[in-house]
Amino acid sequence: MEESPSPKNFGTWAGGMEQSLIVHDLPAILERWKIFKLARCAASNQLFDIMETPLIPSVISNCSTENYPEKGYRTPEKDRGSGMHPTRRTILSGYTNESTKNIAGETSIVTSFSELNIEEPPRTSIPSSSGEALTAFAQLLMVCRQSAPATLADVFSAYCKLDSIVKLGEGTYGEAYRAGSTVCKVVPFDGDSLVNGETQKKSEEVLEEALLCLTLNNLRTDQGDKGKDHSCDGFIETKDFWVCKGPYDPSLISAWEDWDSKHESENDHPKDFSNDQHYIIFVQADGGRDLEKFALLDYNEARSLLLQVTASLAVAESACEFEHRDLHWGNILLARDEMSNKDHTMSITLQGKRIRARTFGLTISIIDFTLSRINTGNAILFLDLSEDPDLFKGPKGDKQVFR
């Protein structure tokens, strides 16, 4: 799995057995997250200017009162900040005084954590229903349905034997490993040390990427209302999330070194992570092999690839204004079903119209939403790409630079 920016090395993914999907209460998670964003703004500036969009009334999350886009625009003005990598920006909607009152009465993933005793964090926190303050890290634990971080060994042992872990690929912000029939993307965050020359992601950034994955999960044909207006299976299925803490496990170090001996890793050796290091694990379906290494057999497979990618993007754009913003050939996975007696077709629903098409045995999965933009219905999540000019640089003549 390749994490942005720009492809480096990609591993081979093979199809595996399906596992049951963990159902998350997305509306409740988004409501808790919105209150957090509101409190963060309220602590630092005046009340917010309201910006009406064609879909939702919103407020700017960075609390700036200048350079707002005119009415009718869905994407906010660029906020040029500082940092080693882009900061995820958001536009929030639906704030009322009642929103903080109603949160206490929710019968959802939120209330199951009401007994947590969380220490007082900085001013960028919100009060919970039981009075203690909740940081973005605490909310991330809620999404993962954990009361405390686990160890890497505990998580991976739930999916496979530790000595069977295989590294599949790497990116700027993390590593991908096969664990049984799943792929686990391990991303360090909230640490002070640089990782592969980059500042580590913060809890808030990781939380928002998790929200984006959950939103795309809701487009799957086996999720939610069967009569929904938009559905497709072209985005990788995220099965679960885990927060972990501690040094890199020896089993993962062994898998990392095996991969390094064959492919010469460009990443820092993970043995240097401290006992206090936090990680987020995205547990995802095994989508196959990336397009860079996948050999298409004929014209039928080529047109199936193009059809599935464009149809999936069309559904996500229509449903939630989704923009991938990093769709190089390392972020498209393919798997081939060679059983000739199967009905090789795909089905999508676009603006209420159901469409079926032949796939010729090929299945695609779009991955890596680090740079993506999406409207969850409650908020617009996106990265200000102008903050990292290196994203737009690459080897001369590289056809994958502009995407």
Q: 331-382, pLDDT tens digit by residue?
A: 999 999 977 667 799 999 999 999 999 999 999 999 999 889 999 888 888 8
The whole-chain average pLDDT of the chain stands at 74
The rounded distance, in Å, linking the Cα atoms of 134 and 122 is 10
Q: Tally Cβ neighbours within 10 Å of residue 321.
A: 17
CA dist 251 and 160 (Å) reads 11
CA atoms within 13 A of residue 8's CA, in its CB half-sphere: 19
- What one-letter code names the amino acid at 237? E
pLDDT digits (tens, 9 = 90+) for 18-66: 344 455 666 666 665 665 555 555 443 332 332 223 332 222 233 333 3
Domain-wise residue ranges, the chain? 135-382
- Catalytic annotation, residues: 326
pLDDT tens profile 148-187: 999 999 999 999 999 999 999 998 889 999 999 999 999 9
Assigned superfamily of 135-382: Phosphorylase Kinase; domain 1 (3.30.200.20)
pLDDT tens sequence across 236-284: 999 999 999 999 999 999 999 999 999 999 999 999 999 999 999 999 9
From the list 356, 272, 244, 343, the residue with the least C-alpha distance to 307 is 356
